[in-house]
């Protein structure tokens, strides 16, 4: 039992890191005991993480800004809380952490000015879990220099929040599930500097720090999903999403993006799992007047093949084509090839590796095609039931497919880190 | 005594059904219009169907004995047929069909037991020249025989009920392989969003 719990705790950090780097290390901290609060348990935790970043920022050389980013050692201190109330009537799960980034100035004197406070929090509540009608509420908050805004071309702070609600309707025995849902999100950007990177045109929405607040947006999302399990671990699914993206500032074109996919998800054999879905995406909003082409209208797909050695050890490879609203360019199409592997040894040592190659096609007649490469291997070991040690390396490379891109729009970032986590 | 009570309650339904309503045409009149009679009476018209229309007093005693023996033979055949259907349902583990056929079979067994007792009583009555008692026992056998024919038809219909008939007592057992993983692969993780994190520019020159 303890080994099982430890396995899950060990797997979560790498899972969280792969899913959302902005919340890496936040979603992992369910300690062994916790403090009893009502019917739930509160787990305080703290992370200490020295991280070497080869693209910490562009610093001056003499009186000029360098066109190549400088490395720096950044210390991360991340205290937080996790609250768990498992119940079929009302289940609550909250995790929140503040994060202080201390730029040591070892490689780039003056980088200490970047030292700052960031934070992330996630809350989810489920009413009548596993019942015929389940109601879920969730909220995600993130304040950091990581963003899903792929048009952003210079380092900035992003304040992101999304609130979601959904109903899961399971008539009969639960083989059929229908899920209507809705969400409201917003993201605001704040410059870390007033200086433009080398090669950035003044006033450019993507790279001029003085202009990036014009990318602030609100996003209203509605969706309807259907899932029919025709075998115990295999289902036919139908997913639909409608995004209404709007911007306060002019210079951005709103999106009215409808996406739908249908296909198969689940086990083919007891060891082989697949995802095979295809669909279409269409932007109903008119393209900007200056655009030469038409608005987004393209097929979508997700194909994934996974081999399950056991519940904690598996490998998978896949192809994913998606369409998302984005500032400046209205929509961005992502063609991704990816691989993921994870392994748990002796119930204490977790290995994880993720790699992805993305081709990002921006719309609004720009013909911009970026390339993004991500490599993220990591290792984590549970020293004591409340103490973890982890280490890893991350490669993030972005090649902007525009002529005369600024120095910050194409970059290669190598990061190596060690992390010690204590959770009660 | 208990058997007799059950027997009369079983036979009552058929007897009432045989009683013409006030103002309704007599059975003889119905027979004059075969099409109408067939439509009104869903029972199969077997070789022994006609004698019920006759009054028991019109049938000579030797004929009563012969018809009673024939009816018993037919009822035993029906019992054998329905037993075959019961076995078939048991072999296919079809619970719905099994329950349905078993219900008919129980009624047929009861009717056959009553008829066998009535046949013995009929023979005694004929031997003792007790006309009224003989007619009474003969009528019981004939009604039982007709009821058994009806139950046989209903047992046949049990076959067709499989395809569409379910109720809240019907449970479906799904055999799941033992080595299936506990996780739910029908809800795979959506691939993570691409995260942009371009390097910032120094706050000062």
Tell me the chain B residues in contact with residue A142 when contact means C-beta distances shorter than 8 Å: none
User: Among A258-272, A337-351, B24-38, where is mean pLDDT lowest?
Assistant: B24-38
Please give the mean pLDDT across all residues of chain B.
73
Task: Say what the pLDDT of residue B72 is.
Answer: 93
Is the pLDDT at B141 greater than 80? The verdict is: yes
Q: Cβ B204–A113 below 8 Å, yes or no?
A: yes
Q: Cβ B174–A232 below 8 Å, yes or no?
A: yes
Is the pLDDT at A7 greater than 90? The verdict is: no
Q: Cβ A233–B205 below 8 Å, yes or no?
A: no
| Interval A225-281: pLDDT, tens | 999 999 889 999 999 999 999 998 887 889 999 999 999 999 999 899 999 999 999
Q: Per the structure block, which two tokens stand in for A155?
A: 């380092």
Is the pLDDT at B115 greater than 60? The verdict is: yes
Cut 0.95: pTM above it: no
Q: Which residue of B has its CA nearest to A324?
A: B193
Q: Which residue of A has its CA nearest to B177?
A: A270
Q: Which residues of A98-119 are buried (b: 16+ CB within 10 A; e: fewer)?
A: ebebebeeebbebbeebeeebb
Task: Say what the pLDDT of residue A293 is.
Answer: 66
Q: Cβ B186–A358 below 8 Å, yes or no?
A: no
Is the pLDDT at A348 greater than 70? The verdict is: yes
Distance CA A151, CA A328 (A): 7
| Interval A162-205: pLDDT, tens | 999 999 999 877 889 999 999 999 999 999 998 999 989 898 88
Share of chain A above pLDDT 70, in %: 92
What are the DSSP calls for B2-62, one per residue? HHHHHHHHHHHHHHHHHSPPTTSPPHHHHHTSHHHHHHH--S---TTTGGGGS-GGGS-HH
| Interval A367-413: pLDDT, tens | 899 999 999 999 999 999 889 999 999 999 999 998 888 889 999 99
Distance CA A98, CA A84 (A): 19
Whether A143 has its CB under 8 Å from any CB of chain B: the answer is: no
Restricting to A residues 386-415, those with a Cβ less than 8 Å away from any Cβ of B are 396, 398, 408-409, 411, 413
Task: Say what the pLDDT of residue A31 is.
Answer: 57
Q: Cβ A193–B203 below 8 Å, yes or no?
A: yes
Q: Cβ A408–B201 below 8 Å, yes or no?
A: yes
Whether A273 has its CB under 8 Å from any CB of chain B: the answer is: yes
Q: 């003889």: which residue's tokens?
A: B28
Please give the mean pLDDT across all residues of chain A.
89
Q: Could you say which of A156, A195, A270 has the minimum Cβ distance to residue B202? A: A195
Tell me the chain B residues in contact with residue A241 when contact means C-beta distances shorter than 8 Å: none
The 8-class DSSP code of residue A424 comes to: -
Task: Say what the pLDDT of residue B168 is.
Answer: 64
Q: Per the structure block, which two tokens stand in for A62?
A: 């003499």
Is the pLDDT at A94 greater than 90? The verdict is: yes
Contact status, residue B155 vs residue A211, Cβ threshold 8 Å: no
CA angle, A39 then A89 then A85, to 5°: 30
- Count the neighbouring beta carbons within 10 Å of the beta carbon of residue A1: 5
User: Among A53-62, A320-329, A346-355, B45-54, where is mean pLDDT lowest?
Assistant: B45-54
Is the pLDDT at A282 greater than 70? The verdict is: yes
Is the pLDDT at B81 greater than 80? The verdict is: yes
What are the DSSP calls for A150-216, one per residue? TT--S-EEEEEEEEEEEEEE--TTTTEEEEEEEEEEEEEEEES-SSPPTTPPTT-TTT-TTTGGGG-
Task: Say what the pLDDT of residue B111 is.
Answer: 94
Is the pLDDT at B37 greater than 70? The verdict is: no
Considering only CA atoms, which of A117, A101, A112 is closest in space to residue A59?
A112
Task: Say what the pLDDT of residue A61 is.
Answer: 82
Q: Measure in Å the smallest separation between the Cα of A61 and chain B Cα atoms.
A: 9
Which comes out higher in pLDDT, residue A38 or A185? Answer: A185
Is the pLDDT at B38 greater than 70? The verdict is: no
Q: Which of A20, A173, A275 to mutate to test the interface with B (most CBs of B within 10 A)?
A: A275
The bridge status of strand A349-362 relative to strand A330-345 is antiparallel
Query: What band does A30 get if pLDDT is binned at 50, 70 and 90?
Result: low
Task: Say what the pLDDT of residue A135 is.
Answer: 96
Which comes out higher in pLDDT, residue B162 or A311? Answer: A311
* Cα torsion through A18, A20, A23, A28, rounded to 10: -40
Is the pLDDT at B29 greater than 70? The verdict is: no
- The dihedral region occupied by A423, where left means phi > 0, alpha psi between -120 and 50, and beta the remainder, is beta
Share of chain B above pLDDT 90, in %: 33
Contact status, residue A254 vs residue A364, Cβ threshold 8 Å: no
Contact status, residue B45 vs residue B107, Cβ threshold 8 Å: no
Q: Measure in Å the smallest separation between the Cα of A404 and chain B Cα atoms.
A: 16
Q: Could you say which of B176, B181, B205 has the minimum Cβ distance to residue A308? A: B181
Is the pLDDT at B48 greater than 70? The verdict is: no
Query: What band does A85 get if pLDDT is binned at 50, 70 and 90?
Result: very high
Distance CA A278, CA A298 (A): 11
Tell me the chain A residues in contact with residue B202 when contact means C-beta distances shorter than 8 Å: 57-60, 65, 110-111, 113, 193, 195
Q: Which of B180, B186, B187, B204 to mutate to test the interface with A (most CBs of A within 10 A)?
A: B186
Q: Could you say which of A232, A338, A360 has the minimum Cβ distance to residue B180? A: A232
Across A17-21, A126-130, A218-222, A341-345, the highest mean pLDDT is recorded for: A218-222
Task: Say what the pLDDT of residue B44 is.
Answer: 39
Residue B125's φ and ψ, nearest 5 degrees, are -65, -40
Task: Say what the pLDDT of residue B165 is.
Answer: 53
Q: Cβ B179–A270 below 8 Å, yes or no?
A: yes
Q: Could you say which of A192, A235, A336 has the minimum Cβ distance to residue B200? A: A192
User: Among A157-161, B42-46, B60-64, where is mean pLDDT lowest?
Assistant: B42-46
Rg (CA), chain A: 22
């Amino acid at each position: 039992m303890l080994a099982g719990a430890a396995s899950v705790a060990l797997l979560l950090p790498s899972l969280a890191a792969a899913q959302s780097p902005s919340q890496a290390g936040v979603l992992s901290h369910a300690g062994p005991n916790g403090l009893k609060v009502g019917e739930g348990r509160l787990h305080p935790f703290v992370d200490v993480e020295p991280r070497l970043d080869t693209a910490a920022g562009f610093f001056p050389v003499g009186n000029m800004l360098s066109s190549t980013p400088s490395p720096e050692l950044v210390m991360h201190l991340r205290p937080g809380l996790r609250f768990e109330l498992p119940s079929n009537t009302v289940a609550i799960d909250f995790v929140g952490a503040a994060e202080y980034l201390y730029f040591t100035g070892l490689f780039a004197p003056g980088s200490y000015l970047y030292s700052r406070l960031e934070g992330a929090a996630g809350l989810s509540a489920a009413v009548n879990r596993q019942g015929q009608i389940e109601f879920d509420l969730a909220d995600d908050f993130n304040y950091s220099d990581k963003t899903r805004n792929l048009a952003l071309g210079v380092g900035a702070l992003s304040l992101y929040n999304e609130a979601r609600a959904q109903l899961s309707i399971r008539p009969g025995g639960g083989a059929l599930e229908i899920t209507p849902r809705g969400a409201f999100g917003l993201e605001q950007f704040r410059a870390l500097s007033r200086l433009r990177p080398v090669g950035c045109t003044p006033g450019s929405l993507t790279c001029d720090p003085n202009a990036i607040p014009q990318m602030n947006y609100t996003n209203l999302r509605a969706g309807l999903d259907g899932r029919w399990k025709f075998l115990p671990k295999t289902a036919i699914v139908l997913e639909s999403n409608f995004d209404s993206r709007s911007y306060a500032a002019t210079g951005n074109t709103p999106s009215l993006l409808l996406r739908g996919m249908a296909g198969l998800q689940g086990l083919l054999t007891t060891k082989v799992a697949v995802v095979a879905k295809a669909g279409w995406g269409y932007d109903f909003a008119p393209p900007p007047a200056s655009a030469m082409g038409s608005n987004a209208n393209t097929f979508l797909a997700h194909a994934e093949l996974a081999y399950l050695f056991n519940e904690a050890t598996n490998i998978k490879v896949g192809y994913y084509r998606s369409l998302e609203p984005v500032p400046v360019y209205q929509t961005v199409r992502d063609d991704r090839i990816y691989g993921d592997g994870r392994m748990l040894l002796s119930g204490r040592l977790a290995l994880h590796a993720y790699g992805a190659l993305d081709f990002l096609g921006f719309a609004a007649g720009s013909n911009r095609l970026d390339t993004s490469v991500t490599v993220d291997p990591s290792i984590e070991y549970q020293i004591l039931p409340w103490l973890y040690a982890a280490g890893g390396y991350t490669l993030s490379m972005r090649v902007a497919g525009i002529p005369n891109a600024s120095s910050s729009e194409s970059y290669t970032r190598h990061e190596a880190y060690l992390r010690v986590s204590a959770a009660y | 005594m208990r058997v007799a009570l059950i027997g009369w309650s079983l036979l009552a339904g058929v007897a009432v059904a045989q009683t013409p309503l006030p103002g309704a045409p007599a059975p003889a009149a119905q027979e004059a219009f075969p099409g109408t009679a067939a439509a009104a009476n869903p029972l199969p018209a077997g070789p022994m169907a006609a004698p019920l229309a006759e009054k028991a007093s019109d049938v000579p005693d030797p004929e009563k004995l012969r018809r009673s023996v024939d009816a018993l033979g037919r009822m035993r055949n029906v019992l054998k047929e329905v037993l075959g259907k019961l076995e078939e349902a048991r072999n296919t583990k079809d619970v719905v069909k099994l329950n349905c056929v078993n219900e008919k079979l129980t009624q047929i067994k009861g009717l056959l037991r009553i008829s066998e007792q009535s046949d013995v009583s009929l023979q005694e009555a004929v031997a003792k020249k007790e006309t009224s008692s003989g007619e009474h026992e003969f009528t019981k056998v004939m009604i039982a025989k007709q009821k058994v024919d009806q139950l046989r038809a209903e047992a046949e219909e049990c076959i067709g009920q499989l395809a569409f008939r379910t109720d809240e007592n019907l449970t479906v057992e799904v055999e799941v392989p033992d080595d299936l993983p506990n996780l739910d692969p029908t809800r795979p993780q959506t691939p993570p969003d691409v995260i942009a994190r371009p390097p910032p520019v120094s706050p000062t020159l």
